[in-house]
Structures are given as C-alpha cells and as structure tokens.
C-alpha cells in the first residue's frame, strides 16, 4: 500500500515556508520520537540545509528510550545540528530549548532571532510553542492538520517563533514510512484504511514487542498471524457483526487508537540501522523501476521507427 496525503493547504504551506525562509535564523524541526526518520520531511531537509537546526524528538514518553538515544546521537553527528528528546505532556523543557536556540544562534543586538518551528502534522509543534510561550497561544489537537497558516509568536526574550502548518510531501518513497506515519497519526484517518494500518502494526508488534501484547490482551501465547490476533482482540472487545464474525474495521481502529495512546507501552518503530537497510532496498527498487521505464521507452521508440519505415515502403 502506498499512502499519500498531500492536500492543497500543505502545498500552500510549503510555498509560504520557502518564501519566509530568507528571514529565518534557525529551524526547530519537530520529529516524532517513535519514527524520527519517517517523520523527517525531505522537502524541509532540503529547504533548510544551510540553517542551524534543532531536531526535537517529541512524544518521547511514547517511544523506547534506548532507541530515542540512538537517534539523538545520530542527529548530533550532523553539522550545525542539536537534538533533544521531549515529553511535552509531562515536563516543561522551555528553558532548555531557549538555551539551545541561543547557543546555536547567539542573539544579535537590535534584532530578535526568528526561529521557524516546522515538521509533519500532529507531532506537537503548537504544543511546543505554547510551552515556550508559557500560555495557550497556538491551537492544538489530537489529529493532523490543526494549524492551517503561519503564526508569529513573540517570546519577548529576543526570540520570535514562527508556528507553521504540518506538512507531508507528495510521494513517500519508503512504503514502511507510509505505514509508520499512518500508525502514529500523522495522516488523516479518512486517507487510510484502518485494517491495512492495523495489519502492519500488529505484525510489527508480533515481531518486536510480543510481551506488551500478551500483557495488554491477557494472552499466555500469541498466534502466528496478525489476522488471528485481531480476531482474538475483536472477540474480547465485542467487535462482532452478523454471524458472530469479528468486525475487522472496528477492532483495527481500537488497536490503532490504543497504540497511539501508549496503552501498549513505549514503542519505537525504527532505528538508524533499520532505516539504513530500508533505504538501500528503496534505492535498488527505484533503480530497477527506472531501468524498466528506460527499456519501455526504447521499445516504444523502436516500434514507432519500424512503423514509420514500413509506411514509407
């Protein structure tokens, strides 16, 4: 399955970001700690290459702390970049982030530092801004695409923040990234099939986090396949339709929502090592596709040439 969700407001927001960038001194990129690579927008990476950058890993309360540490080290190795893991619901990291901004871009006399807060939908950009401002100034919500336009917030300490709408990109190359974005809630629910996403997520849990599954659903043993487990959970939760058959759509949405809320424990869906292997695979598939396309174009050109020559005879 390839999930792509790129509504008009994201295209507009990407254009606005490009236009504002020359005034921006520093970029605060907000990433989801459970999927630090899949939540990195390649458009933002490319656009902001030459700006000092802080990569904040939000929702770290929902991610595996050891894996989050691996990602922090990975990002800190990039030039002009600092990284920090955040739990915005239970801690107050405002002062530390302000410190980091001032370290990475020392304040200039007579002008305030403009820090653009950017990232994919639903990662906590507006929650972060409210935390830094110490008041509820930006609208937040537990679904993607809450912020629809840019908003400037003066912190009155020499720093001006720019809240931006969450943006995805037109084509997600790595299919695993599409599923991870859908699983964690970055893609609007109307653009995904809960069943497909739950199949991906259950399969991932069976392979990587079997114990939390057993605990949550009171199981001594786990079945081998995702469909069997969804049927067991569906029966437990009374998700039944006619003929006592499990309603897969309903149980899928229950599973995904529990996972998103953290009731299945702290989970990370990717490590730097996993991503490296996946990207090699994506590059191979891309090259193969390009080769097939070149071959197809060559064949078409040869066929046309032959047809033309035949007409001349």
Ligand X SMILES: Nc1nc2c(ncn2[C@@H]2O[C@H](COP(=O)(O)OP(=O)(O)OP(=O)(O)O)[C@@H](O)[C@H]2O)c(=O)[nH]1
Q: What radius of gyration, in Å, describes the C-alpha atoms of the chain?
A: 23
In this structure, is the dihedral angle defined by the CA atoms of residues 267, 268, 274 and 279, taken in order, positive or negative? positive
Token representation of residue 208: 């990587």
Contacting ligand X within 113-152 (CB under 6 A): 119, 121-127, 140-142, 144-147
> Minimal CB distance to Mg ion: which residue?
147
| 180 makes contact with ligand X (CB under 6 A) | no
The least CB distance from residue 83 to ligand X, in Å, is: 15
| 260 sits near ligand X (criterion: CB under 6 A) | no
* Residue among 79, 94, 84 nearest 31 (CA): 84
Tell me the backbone φ, ψ of residue 2, rounded to 5 degrees. -115, 120
> Which one of ligand X, Mg ion, none interacts with residue 62, CB within 5 to 8 A by kind?
ligand X
In whole angstroms, the minimum distance from the beta carbon of 68 to ligand X comes to 12
Q: Which does 36 bind (CB under 5 to 8 A by kind): ligand X, Mg ion, none?
A: none
Of 66-95, binders to ligand X (CB under 6 A) are: 86-89
Indicate which of Mg ion, ligand X, none lies near residue 88 (CB less than 5 to 8 Å, by partner kind).
Answer: ligand X
Residue of 147, 176, 184, 266 interacting with Mg ion (CB under 5 A): 147
CB of 238 to Mg ion, least distance (A): 36
Task: Report the residue number, 36 or 119, with the smaller CB distance to ligand X.
Answer: 119
Give residues with Cβ within 8 angstroms of 283, minimum separation 6: none
Please, what is the minimum distance in Å from the beta carbon of residue 310 to ligand X?
Answer: 58
Distance CA 173, CA 149 (A): 27
* Residue 126 sits in the site that holds Mg ion (CB under 5 A): yes
258 forms part of the interface with ligand X (CB under 6 A):
no
Does the footprint of Mg ion cover residue 130 (CB under 5 A)?
no
Minimal distance in Å, beta carbon 21 to ligand X?
A: 18
| Cβ-closest position to ligand X | 166
Nearer to Mg ion, 146 or 219 (CB): 146
Q: Considering the rule CB under 5 A, would residue 118 count as an interface residue with Mg ion?
A: no
Q: How far is the CB of 27 from Mg ion (least distance, A)?
A: 16
Asked if residue 7 binds ligand X (CB under 6 A), the reply is no
- Contact footprint for Mg ion (CB under 5 A): 125-126, 146-147
- Contact footprint for ligand X (CB under 6 A): 58-59, 61-62, 86-89, 119, 121-127, 140-142, 144-147, 165-166
């Amino acid at each position: 399955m390839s999930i792509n969700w790129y509504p008009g407001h994201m295209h507009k927001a990407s254009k606005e970001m490009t236009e504002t960038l020359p005034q921006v001194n520093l970029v605060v990129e907000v990433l989801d700690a459970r999927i630090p690579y899949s939540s990195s927008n390649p458009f933002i990476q490319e656009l902001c290459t030459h700006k000092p950058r802080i990569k904040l890993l939000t929702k770290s309360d929902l991610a595996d702390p050891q894996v989050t540490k691996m990602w922090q080290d990975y990002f800190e190795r990039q030039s002009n970049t600092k990284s920090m893991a955040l739990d915005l619901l239970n801690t107050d990291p405002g002062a530390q982030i302000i410190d980091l901004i001032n370290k990475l871009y020392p304040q200039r006399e007579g002008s305030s530092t403009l820090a653009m807060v950017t990232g994919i939908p639903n990662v906590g950009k507006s929650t972060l801004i409210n935390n830094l401002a110490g008041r509820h100034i930006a609208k937040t919500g537990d679904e993607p695409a809450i912020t629809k336009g840019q908003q400037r917030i003066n912190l009155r300490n020499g720093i001006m923040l720019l809240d931006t709408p969450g943006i995805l990109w037109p084509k997600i190359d790595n299919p695993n990234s599409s599923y991870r974005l859908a699983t964690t809630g970055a893609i609007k629910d109307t653009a995904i099939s809960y069943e497909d996403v739950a199949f991906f997520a259950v399969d991932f849990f069976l392979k990587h986090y079997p114990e939390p599954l057993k605990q949550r659903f009171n199981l001594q043993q786990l079945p081998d396949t995702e469909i069997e487990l969804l049927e067991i959970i569906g029966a437990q939760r009374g998700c039944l339709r006619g003929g006592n058959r499990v309603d897969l759509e309903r149980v899928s949405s229950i599973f995904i929502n529990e996972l998103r809320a953290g009731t299945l424990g702290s989970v990370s869906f990717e490590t730097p090592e996993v991503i490296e292997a996946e990207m090699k695979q994506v590059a191979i598939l891309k090259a193969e596709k390009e080769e097939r396309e070149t071959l197809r174009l060559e064949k078409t050109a040869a066929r046309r040439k032959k047809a033309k020559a035949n007409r001349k005879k």
